[in-house]
Structure 1
Amino acid sequence: MTRQFPAGFLWGAAASAFQTEGAAAIDGRGPTVWDDFTRAPGKIRNGDTADVACDFYHRYPEDIALMKGLGLGAFRLSTAWSRILPSGRGTVNPLGLDFYDRVIDLMLHEGIEPWICLHHWDMPSPIEADGGWRNRDCARWFADYAAIVGRHFGDRVKRFVPINEPNVIPWVAYNVGRHAPGRQSREDTVKAIHHINLAHGLTIQAVRAEAPGAEAGNIVSLGPVHPAVDDEAHRAVLPLAECIWRRVMVDPLWLGTYPEPLATEIEPHIAEGDMAVIRQPLDFFGLNHYNRVYVAPTDTTMWGLIERVPPPGYPLTDVNWRIDPSALVEQIEDVGSRYGHPPIYITEGGCAFPDALRPDRSVHDPDRIAYFADYFTALAGAIENGADVRGYFAWSLMDNFEWNSGFTKRFGLVYTDYPTLQRIPKSSYYWMRGVIAKNAVIPPEGRP
């Protein structure tokens, strides 16, 4: 059954600076926590680094041509803080601004709307050396950077977001230690939560001051939280898991309060006026959605809980995420009911599968087509039932550096042949092109 999307529905794709740009030590870019993390033994699979990544820095005209060929109405990129401010603050690097000028101007020339995410986890190393998100001053340093970006690009960019998936940073980078900077500290986690939220509010203020014609929103990765095993011990950690994963980086922005059971613990770090700064009017809710989250009690983390793979019996992607379109609909409904039914954009969605390059140098990925078809069908149904979802950004345009998995996981609509850096559109790319052209779900081959 073909499902139509509303007229004007925005189709996009997304990628981040660190995962795609490369050019790590070129034209004045400074080091980041992820550059440092990739050089720490045993942190990244196969010892991979993003020094070259996809070389988007030099190959962006080819990649923008792929965006145009796909029919994208928008592309969500992140600006690299350390490419614009190599030390994180102080002197601006004009070559960094020049690079994004070229990218944005070419996108606009091709009819593709640029969305800027100001931070996709690649904090400048000097900022981390001064405490990073543990340091309250970091919120102001980040807002100063945001003001520079808003002032320079606000004449052309009309959608800004401060931080991608801020909930991932405390959970994965400060609790589990699996992401840069690789800390494991309850105190650091609590400080980071509040300072990231404060940075968000200050950044929204800065963007509105420097780019008054632009819209601003948040981007958070959310999925329903479940016990990995349905027993009393697992159910006992659900309130804390729900708070850390879904609420503590969203409620303050939209409701002006911290949720329990963390509100009391965060309170000592809140200065007078902070909550009013954090709760700025937002134009849209950016929802990244991949999976339901399964949690379990543990004595190996500071918080006494850990994320687990889904229970047996569910279809999974190559990163062990459950394929379940109903979770997307459930999350859309939760966002709407809890936060006053804001306009929603799905700012990331997608899947990793072990794509292989065929002898004729084509890539056939029917699993990805089936994945998107099922999720788009569920999304169209949610919109028909009243959900105010206005666009969908596929993650990702191309295969890229997938954080601690290095280059072993492929999310792209375009295959990146890393030895040659050749871009090869997968069969999902051509299928997606048809979806965008028709503004409707196209049943995969073999389905009615």
Structure 2
Amino acid sequence: MTQDTAAAAQFAAPPASQADPFTPPATSALWRRDFLLGAATAAYQIEGAVREDGRLPSIWDTFSATPGKVLAGDTGETACDHYHRWEADLDLLTQLHFEAYRFSIAWPRVMDEAGRPNAKGIAFYRRLLERLKEKGIRTFATLYHWDLPQHLEDRGGWLNRDTAYRFADYADLMSRELKGLVDSWMTLNEPWCSAYLGYGNGHHAPGLANGRYATQAMHHLLLGHGLAVTVLRANDPASAKGIVANVGRGTADSPSEADVRAARRFEVQHNAWILDPLLKGEYPRELFELWPGTEPLVLDGDMETIAAPLDFLGINYYFRTNVKSDGAHGFVEAPPEGVERTQMGWEVHPDGLRDLLTGFARTYDNLPPIYITENGMASDDSVRDGRVDDTQRIAFLKRHLAAVNEAMDAGVDIRGYFVWSLLDNFEWAFGYERRFGVVHVDYGTQVRTPKRSAELIARFLAQRRALDVA
């Protein structure tokens, strides 16, 4: 028996008397073998090794090293040390029976300032992908998960139109070097966060705060996406191409017309700002009524490039936001009392995921197939007697998977679901305090401990595989 097989058996056959609070009902579409269940990570959050093998500084290296920007002064310098421990981390995917893995490529690791390939950085991702293929795990590679090379930010970053073309160059290199190893390419992760948190309010790298900056950065991000889709299709035609959007459910604090309009405008700002240009080829007019004077500079042909056809759309969902009118044209948050929240302070609201998915299907006639590319929660997990009992996460995942199933029953084409995250990791401006993983990481020793949620996911996937074999 191999080490992987032995570890898998550990989770596949628990005592029959042990209650299972995760496994979906027999009628759930989640039992279908063509519905992928995977785990997700991101390069800066797990890799570490920020100065090894030719990797260049990123905006998150700069931002996290700036006093006061990240909780406790944490940085991604070591993170989960995945750059050195990747083989064991991929073994975890096998042990837990995950069928797909979504990860990101660090742009600063694979190219130098002149745009020339960095062979050592590229070789790291090639080894990673080859091992995943050997294991029979589907590969989903994100090109940009927020770690812009610092030398590009020094030239204006996403405020500079040229960055969109440099992103296309990067996509061109990666799709030529890794052709045939990636099942699905994702151009951008959460452009809303990159544009709004990075350039609009300064909570994320590069830490700028200007409304016009946010909309111009978004335009260049989406332009880079459209340019990248073209080169990905040319270089790696057998792979699927998509993008990942974080979406937010906005609900009205009262049935008043003003509050209902406020909730709609919340969703325009969070969802339509990204999805309308991708799927309609235009920005929503209401966005610039909400943010007057922030219209980006759009050149002829830009919107056609941005609206390049997608093979799939990645959706990241975590919580809803209850809002009320600000007395003018916008909204302010109106947090409800007595609701369940995570360690992040986010409300647990699985119905919001279902409502968004069914709403998108009604709004966009050309909505492509969907993957839930991130869903999960942070909790203050600790290891006790060799175990991590993350009861709230187990309930969270089961309820959100049930919401996905409800959306599928309503006719939404959803192909899979990725848990965020495989590992506890560097949670951006919150550092290492907030734990999203289904595997606990001791950051001092780098010891990995699968949590109870991971054990239950593994049990379900083993049961599903056994039914398929039978």
TM-score past 0.5 threshold: yes
- Structure 2 CA distance for aligned equivalents of residues 331 and 91 of structure 1: 42
- State the shift of 1:386 in Å: 2.2
Aligned ranges 1:401-440 → 2 under 5 Å: 401-439=426-464
Amino-acid identity (%) = 38
- AA aligned to 2:54 is G
The verdict on how the C-alpha distance between 1:44 and 1:9 changes in structure 2, with shifts beyond 3 A counting, is same
8 Å CA contact retained: 1:3, 1:380: no
CA-to-partner distance for each residue in 1:337-379, whole Å, 9 max, x for gaps?
A: 2222421111111111111111x22211111111111112222
3-state SS of the aligned residue for 2:274? coil
- AA aligned to 2:359 is D
- Structure 2 CA distance for aligned equivalents of residues 418 and 227 of structure 1: 41
- Structure 1 CA distance for aligned equivalents of residues 293 and 234 of structure 2: 33
- State the shift of 1:203 in Å: 0.7
**Aligned partner (choices 254, 262, 284) of residue 312 of structure 2:** 284
Instruction: Structure 2: give runs of 5+ residues left out of the alignment.
Output: 1-24, 466-470
Aligned ranges 1:246-285 → 2 under 5 Å: 246-262=271-287, 269-285=297-313
1:200 aligns with 2:225: yes
8 Å CA contact retained: 1:194, 1:266: no
**Aligned partner (choices 58, 63, 76) of residue 32 of structure 1:** 58
**Aligned partner (choices 155, 179, 182) of residue 180 of structure 2:** 155
**Aligned partner (choices 91, 105, 108) of residue 82 of structure 1:** 108
Match of 1:355 in 2: 381
Match of 2:48 in 1: 22
- State the shift of 1:294 in Å: 3.8
- Structure 2 CA distance for aligned equivalents of residues 426 and 408 of structure 1: 17
Equivalent pairs, count: 434
Match of 2:72 in 1: 46
- AA aligned to 2:73 is G
The verdict on how the C-alpha distance between 1:298 and 1:363 changes in structure 2, with shifts beyond 3 A counting, is same
Match of 2:12 in 1: none
- State the shift of 1:170 in Å: 2.1
Alignment TM-score, normalising by the size of structure 1: 0.92
- Structure 2 CA distance for aligned equivalents of residues 35 and 296 of structure 1: 37
Match of 1:395 in 2: 420
- State the shift of 1:113 in Å: 1.4
The verdict on how the C-alpha distance between 1:234 and 1:378 changes in structure 2, with shifts beyond 3 A counting, is closer
8 Å CA contact retained: 2:54, 2:109: yes
- State the shift of 1:296 in Å: 6.4
- Structure 1 CA distance for aligned equivalents of residues 258 and 459 of structure 2: 48
3-state SS of the aligned residue for 1:293? strand
- AA aligned to 2:342 is T
- Structure 2 CA distance for aligned equivalents of residues 213 and 293 of structure 1: 39
- AA aligned to 2:83 is Y
The verdict on how the C-alpha distance between 1:315 and 1:268 changes in structure 2, with shifts beyond 3 A counting, is closer
- AA aligned to 1:400 is N
- Structure 1 CA distance for aligned equivalents of residues 298 and 410 of structure 2: 40
- AA aligned to 1:361 is G
CA-to-partner distance for each residue in 1:223-281, whole Å, 9 max, x for gaps?
A: 21235687787666545432221111111111111101236856561111111111111
- Structure 2 CA distance for aligned equivalents of residues 396 and 422 of structure 1: 16
- Structure 1 CA distance for aligned equivalents of residues 375 and 331 of structure 2: 26
The verdict on how the C-alpha distance between 1:304 and 1:44 changes in structure 2, with shifts beyond 3 A counting, is farther
1:58 aligns with 2:84: yes
**Aligned partner (choices 154, 159, 169) of residue 194 of structure 2:** 169
Deviates more, 1:113-122 or 1:228-237: 228-237
Instruction: Structure 1: give runs of 5+ residues left out of the alignment.
Output: 441-448
Alignment RMSD (CA, Å):
2.2
The structure 1 segments of at least 4 consecutive aligned residues displaced by more than 4 Å after TM superposition are: 227-240, 263-268, 295-299, 303-306
3-state SS of the aligned residue for 2:186? strand
Deviates more, 1:420-429 or 1:225-234: 225-234
- State the shift of 1:174 in Å: 1.6
- Structure 1 CA distance for aligned equivalents of residues 267 and 410 of structure 2: 26
- AA aligned to 1:48 is D
- State the shift of 1:336 in Å: 1.5
- Structure 2 CA distance for aligned equivalents of residues 266 and 274 of structure 1: 17
- Structure 2 CA distance for aligned equivalents of residues 129 and 241 of structure 1: 32
Match of 2:410 in 1: 385
1:327 aligns with 2:355: no
- AA aligned to 1:250 is L
Match of 2:128 in 1: 103
3-state SS of the aligned residue for 2:286? coil
- Structure 2 CA distance for aligned equivalents of residues 121 and 419 of structure 1: 26
8 Å CA contact retained: 2:314, 2:371: yes
- Structure 1 CA distance for aligned equivalents of residues 323 and 267 of structure 2: 10
The verdict on how the C-alpha distance between 1:138 and 1:294 changes in structure 2, with shifts beyond 3 A counting, is farther
1:342 aligns with 2:365: no
- AA aligned to 1:211 is D
Match of 1:293 in 2: 321
1:187 aligns with 2:224: no
8 Å CA contact retained: 1:190, 1:265: no
8 Å CA contact retained: 1:237, 1:297: yes
8 Å CA contact retained: 1:398, 1:416: yes
Aligned ranges 1:367-382 → 2 under 5 Å: 367-382=392-407
- State the shift of 1:380 in Å: 2.1
The verdict on how the C-alpha distance between 1:229 and 1:386 changes in structure 2, with shifts beyond 3 A counting, is closer
Match of 1:218 in 2: 243
- Structure 2 CA distance for aligned equivalents of residues 330 and 235 of structure 1: 16
- Structure 2 CA distance for aligned equivalents of residues 231 and 381 of structure 1: 29
- AA aligned to 1:60 is W
